[in-house]
Amino acid sequence: MGTGRGRYRADTHGASRCSGDMEAGVRLSAGVSKWDIRKKIWDYMEANNLADFPRPVHHRIPNFKGSHQACHAVRELDVFNRTSEVKVDPDKPLEGVRLVTLQARKTLLVPTPRLRTGLFNKIVPPPGATKEILRICATSQGVKDYSVPIGLDAKVQVDLVVVGSVAVSEKGWRIGKGEGFADMEYAMMVSMGAIREDTPVVTIVHDCQVVDIAEELLDDHDLTVDYILTPTRTIKTGCKRPKPQGIMWHKISYEMLERIPILKNLRYREKQAGKDVILKDEHPDFPNARKPADSDENAKTGNTKLQTESTSAQIGHRHVGNDSLSTKSETHGALTTVYVGNIPPGTRVSELKSALREFHASPLRLSWQGTRGRAFLDYTDKMTAESVVSSLKGLSLRGQTLRVEMAKNQRNKGQVEINGQRNKYE
Residue 26 CA: distances (Å) to CA of 19, 21, 216? 10, 10, 20
Check the CA dihedral 127-128-132-138 and report its sign.
positive
Residue 119 β-bridge partners: none
Kindly report which listed range (21-25, 163-167, 377-381) carries the lowest average pLDDT score: 21-25
Residue 105 lies in a domain: yes
Alpha helices in 48-87 (DSSP H): 67-72, 78-81
pLDDT band at 31 (very low <50, low <70, confident <90, very high): confident
Q: Answer yes or no: do 205 and 343 share one domain.
A: no
Q: What is the CATH number of the domain that holds 108?
A: 3.40.50.10420
Residue 138 covered by a domain: yes
Does some domain include residue 286?
A: no
Q: For residue 389, what are the CA distances in angstroms to 58, 223, 393, 410, 415?
A: 34, 31, 6, 15, 19
The closest alpha carbon to 122, from 79, 75, 158, belongs to 158
Residue 396 in this model has a pLDDT that exceeds 70: yes
pLDDT at position 143 is 83
pLDDT-derived band at 230 (thresholds 50, 70, 90) equals very high
In a domain, 27, yes or no: no
Which of 208, 236, 264 is the endpoint of a domain? 236
138 three-class SS: coil
Domain boundary, last residue among 203, 236, 269: 236
Contact 380, 336 (CB under 8 A): yes
Domain coverage including residue 121: 67-236
Count structural domains, the chain.
2
Q: How does the average pLDDT of the chain come out, rounded?
A: 80
Residue 264 belongs to some domain of the structure: no
Among 189-193, 332-336, 397-401, whose mean pLDDT is lowest? 332-336
Specify which residues 424 forms β-bridges with.
Answer: 415
10, pLDDT greater than 70: no
Q: Which of 175, 209, 236 represents a domain boundary (last residue)?
A: 236
Per residue in 33-50, pLDDT tens? Answer: 999 999 999 999 999 999
C-alpha 249/C-alpha 264 separation (Å) is 11
- Has residue 223 been placed in a domain? yes
Q: Alpha-carbon Rg of the chain, whole angstroms?
A: 25
Indicate the pTM of the whole model: 0.68
Q: Do 232 and 345 lie in a common domain?
A: no
For the cut 90, the answer to whether the pLDDT of residue 282 exceeds it is: no
Mean pLDDT, residues 71-96: 96
Query: Which pLDDT band, with edges at 50, 70 and 90, does 11 fall under?
Result: very low
Residue spans of beta strands (DSSP E) within 275-388: 313-315, 318-320, 336-341, 365-369, 374-379
The answer to whether 353 and 366 have CB atoms below 8 angstroms apart is yes
Tell me if 298 is assigned to some domain. Answer: no
What is the reported pLDDT for 70?
97
